[in-house]
Amino acid sequence: MLDLAIHHRQGDFSLQADLTVGEGLTALFGPSGSGKTTLINIVAGLVRPTQGRLHFNGTTWGDGTTFVPPHRRRIGYVFQEGRLFPHQTVLQNLRYGERLLPRAERREDLDRIASLLGITDLLARRPVHLSGGEKQRVALGRALMTSPKLLLMDEPLSALDGALKAQILPYIERIRDDFGVPILYVSHSVEEVARLATAVVTFDRGRASAVGRPDEALATVLHASGGLPAGNFIEAAIVAHHPEDGLTEARSAVGPLLLRRTSLALGTRVRVFVPVSDIVVATEQVEGLSALNRLSGDLVAIEERAGAAVTLTVDCHGQMIVAEVTRRSLRQLALAPGKPVHLLFKTVSIASDALYREARD
Ligand SMILES: Nc1ncnc2c1ncn2[C@@H]1O[C@H](COP(=O)(O)OP(=O)(O)OP(=O)(O)O)[C@@H](O)[C@H]1O
C-alpha cells in the first residue's frame, strides 16, 4: 500500500496530493500539465517533494529526514517511448532489469515473462528491428524482470496507434491480474482508464483527488469537462445469454441491461459505457419503441449548456446517470428536479469495445 501526503512546488506549478493507493491498477487521469508525471516521479524518487511524506508497505520512502533513493525502492518504470537500450538485444534488455537485483531477490522467470508478453520469438533482435508495440512489450518485460514491488507506467500506450494499443491492452490486463503488484498508470485516455483501472485518481491543475471508483471518477470528469464522448459507466454482471436474439443480459444496480451478445462467462463483471448521446428521455412509460433498455429514476439536476443542449442528471437507484436533451424538449416535457423519468437506449448502440471486463471480482 502506498500512502502519501505531499506538497511540491516547481516553478509556478504546485502539486498537492494526499492519497492512499492499494493493489490493482490505479489510473492517474487528468489534462496535460495537471501534475500526473510529477506525482509518479515523486513516487519513483526521481523528484524530491518540497514537503510531505511517502510510505510504501510500512516503509518510509521520504519525509522530512528520510529519503530512499530510486534504486532502493524496487519500482518498475515503463515510459511512453519504451527507452530500450538500442545496442542490446531484447534478451539483454530483459536481463538488464534482473541484473540490478541481488540473486536472492530475483523472483521473476524470464521464460514466463517472455511468454506472457508474447516476445519469446524476439529475444535475439535489437530494438531497431522491433515494431512500436513489440518495443513496448519488451519495456514492460524489462520492468517486470526487476521483480518490482510497485509498477509505474507513464502513458505507455500513447505513442502507439489505435490498433497497436488494442494489442497491448490485454498484456497490461494480464500484468494487473497475474503479478499482484500495484500499478500506477498515467493516462489521458478515457477508454484505457475504463478498461484497465480498478481505481482512479483525478488531477486538476495540480490537485490530486482521492482515489475513487473508475465509473464514478470518469463520469464526473467527463461531465465537468464537457468532453466527448461523454457517457455513463454502468457496472454490471453477466447473468444470461440469449443466442436466439443475439443478446446478453446483465444485472446492474440501475436495473437489467441487454447488451450485444458477448462470449463472456456468466458472472463476469463488466463496465458498460452508454454515451449520453444514445439516451432518450421520457416522462412516461412508452410502448412501441425498439429501445430494449429502459431505466427509471428521478431527475436531480438540470444544467443548461451553451447551444441547444441541456444536461440532465438522473438518480437511478442511487447511481447518477447523465443524459442530454434540447432546450425545447426540456420545456415540452416540463422537466424539473424531482420529476420521475425513464431513460431509453438501444442495445445495439452499445459498441462492443465499450464493454469492459471488470478487473477483479
Ligand atoms: N522541472 C520543472 N520545473 C518547473 N516546472 C515544471 C518542471 N517539470 C514540469 N513542470 C511543470 O509542472 C506542471 C505539471 O507537469 P507534469 O508533467 O507533471 O504534468 P502531466 O499531468 O504529467 O502532463 P502531461 O499529461 O502533459 O504529461 C506543468 O505545468 C509543467 O510545465
Residue 172 exposed, middle or buried by CB count within 10 Å (0-12, 13-18, 19+): buried
- As a residue count, the chain comes to 361
Closest residue by Cα to atom 2, ligand 1, is 10
SS3 281: strand
Q: How far, in Å, CA of 35 to CA of 16, rounded?
A: 9
Mean pLDDT (whole number) for 88-107: 84
Q: How far out from the chain centre does Cα 254 lie?
A: 22
How far is the centre of ligand 1, averaged over its atoms, from the C-alpha of 33 (Å)? 5
* 246-265 tens-digit pLDDT: 899 999 999 999 988 877 88
Predicted confidence band of residue 3 (pLDDT cuts 50, 70, 90): very high
DSSP 33: T
Mean pLDDT (whole number) for 285-314: 87
Predicted confidence band of residue 311 (pLDDT cuts 50, 70, 90): confident
Q: What is the pLDDT of residue 359?
A: 40
Instruction: Write the DSSP string, 123-170.
Output: TT--GGGS-HHHHHHHHHHHHHTT--SEEEEESTTTTS-HHHHHHHHH
Atom of ligand 1 nearest to the CA of 35: 18
Q: How far, in Å, CA of 274 to CA of 48, rounded?
A: 41
- The binding-site residues of ligand 1, defined as CB within 6 angstroms of any ligand atom, are 10-11, 13, 30, 32-38, 188, 203
* 206-249 tens-digit pLDDT: 999 888 777 777 766 665 555 544 677 788 889 999 999 889 99
* 265-291 tens-digit pLDDT: 898 888 787 878 789 999 998 887 778
Give the residue, 215 or 138, on which the prediction is more confident.
138
Residue 229: cis peptide before it, omega within 30 degrees of 0: yes
Q: How far, in Å, CA of 327 to CA of 306, rounded?
A: 10
Atom of ligand 1 nearest to the CA of 38: 18
Least confident of 108-112, 184-188, 189-193, 199-203: 189-193
Predicted confidence band of residue 354 (pLDDT cuts 50, 70, 90): low
Mean pLDDT (whole number) for 137-147: 91
How far is the centre of ligand 1, averaged over its atoms, from the C-alpha of 175 (Å)? 28
Q: What is the pLDDT of residue 57?
A: 94
* 7-42 tens-digit pLDDT: 999 999 999 999 999 989 999 988 888 999 999 999
Q: Is the pTM of this model over 0.80?
A: no
- Mark 111-124 as b/e (b = at least 16 C-beta within 10 Å): eebbebbbbeebbe
- Mark 181-206 as b/e (b = at least 16 C-beta within 10 Å): bbbbbbbeebbbbbbbbbbbbbbeeb
Predicted confidence band of residue 356 (pLDDT cuts 50, 70, 90): low
ipTM associated with this complex: 0.93
